[in-house]
Amino acid sequence: MLQLRPSCESCNNNLAADSTAYICTFECTFCEDCAVKVHNYLCPNCRGNLERRPISPKEFLDQYPASTKRVVK
């Protein structure tokens, strides 16, 4: 079960659960700008590669609400 984090760990911008975001295997979460332009698809925390976060269907989000816990490094 993915944690859908609500913000970019790099710039702290809000990330809606259905917006474009990038995650690594440890679920470090970044906005598209940071993932692509700043980090070049590499997670700055763990050095894993960043992939597009899948977007959950609406029914799924109702059942498992997106995380509201902000993670900032």
Total interface residues for Zn ion by CB under 5 A: 11
Cα–Cα distance for residue pair 25/2, rounded to 1 Å? 10
Q: How many CB atoms are closer than 10 A to CB 47?
A: 8
Q: Is 10 within 8 Å of 62 (Cβ atoms)?
A: no
Applying the rule CB under 5 A, the residues between 19 and 58 that interact with Zn ion are 24, 26, 28, 31, 34, 43, 45-46
Q: Which of 8, 15, 22, 53 binds Zn ion (CB under 5 A)?
A: 8
The answer to whether 10 contacts Zn ion (rule: CB under 5 A) is yes
Which residues is 49 bridged to in the sheet?
Answer: 42
Interface with Zn ion (CB under 5 A): 8, 10-11, 24, 26, 28, 31, 34, 43, 45-46
